[in-house]
């Protein structure tokens, strides 16, 4: 990934974390590496552990940011969900997506709650 791509990703993750904190999520960790991949933000919403995937775009030329969550990415997020459920001994894990559209003058954030929800 290029320097500009990393910078955009870091800025988007910071914006997403701030948005989640305003919604009373507790940020537990950022950029958590696991055997199945990296979790952008690991948070807690009440009693639910939340994997937050952050997607950012600088233009809508090739589609929206939410379209970047492909079937392959969804499968990876499901694996992460199962891994966290086992390692954190919790029965409730959910995947949320936060998109950041940088094409406008002001970044536009959207929060998609519960793309994947798992109760063991």
The pTM assigned to this predicted structure is 0.86
Domain spans, the chain: 3-119
Cβ atoms of residues 41 and 12 within 8 Å: no
Task: Express each pLDDT in 7-65 by its tens digit.
Answer: 777 889 999 999 999 999 999 999 999 988 899 999 999 999 999 999 988 877 777 77
The full DSSP string for 25-80 is PEEEEEEEEETTEEEEEEEEETTEEEEEEEEEES-STT--GGGGS-HHHHHHHHHH
Phi-psi region of 85 (alpha: psi -120 to 50; beta: other; left: phi over 0): alpha
The full DSSP string for 89-118 is T-SEEEEEEEEEE-SSSS-EEEEEEEEEEE
Domain range 3-119, its CATH number among 1.20.120.160, 3.40.50.620, 3.40.1350.10, 3.40.1550.10: 3.40.1350.10
Task: Express each pLDDT in 76-100 by its tens digit.
Answer: 888 888 888 888 887 788 999 999 9
């Amino acid at each position: 990934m290029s320097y500009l791509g990393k910078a955009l990703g870091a800025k988007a993750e910071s914006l997403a974390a701030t948005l989640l904190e305003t919604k009373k999520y507790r940020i537990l960790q950022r950029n958590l590496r696991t055997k199945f991949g990296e979790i952008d933000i690991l948070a807690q919403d009440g009693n639910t552990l939340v994997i937050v995937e952050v997607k950012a775009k600088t233009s809508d030329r090739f589609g929206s940011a939410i379209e970047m969550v492909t079937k392959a990415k969804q499968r990876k997020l499901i694996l992460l969900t199962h891994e966290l459920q086992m390692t954190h001994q919790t029965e409730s894990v959910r995947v949320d997506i936060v998109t950041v559209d940088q094409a406008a003058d002001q970044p536009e954030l959207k929060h998609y709650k519960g793309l994947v929800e798992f109760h063991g």
